[in-house]
Amino acid sequence: MAPRRQPQTAIYETTLEDPELEEALKTRHSMGDRRSTANHNFKVADDRARKLIAAKDLGDGVTVRVGDFLISQKPVAGRSVSFETEPTTRVRIKPIKE
């Protein structure tokens, strides 16, 4: 379908009438909103799980099983990047392979 010009929409802007493309763009936008919500919900759940893990004080180099998950913790040394980081620990949460 050929694009057509609409007066004063914007400088050099054209309007393309393509219902299939428009629907695809709406779906994409909707999925982006859902992804944003899902990312937020994951962050909330991840923060909660990590706080509960921190409260257990597992210790470095230890791996424990909780249900269907393995949790391990190891120290991460500070390093120099464009800013200084403080020493910390890295917590890894992953499902057990079947």
CA distance 41 to 24: 25
CA distance 62 to 73: 6
Residue 81 is given by DSSP the state: S
Backbone angles phi, psi at 63, to 5 degrees: -120, 130
Higher per-residue pLDDT: 4 or 82: 82
Whole-model pTM above 0.85? Answer: no
pLDDT digits (tens, 9 = 90+) for 16-62: 687 887 888 788 888 888 888 999 999 999 999 999 998 988 888 88
Higher per-residue pLDDT: 59 or 98: 59
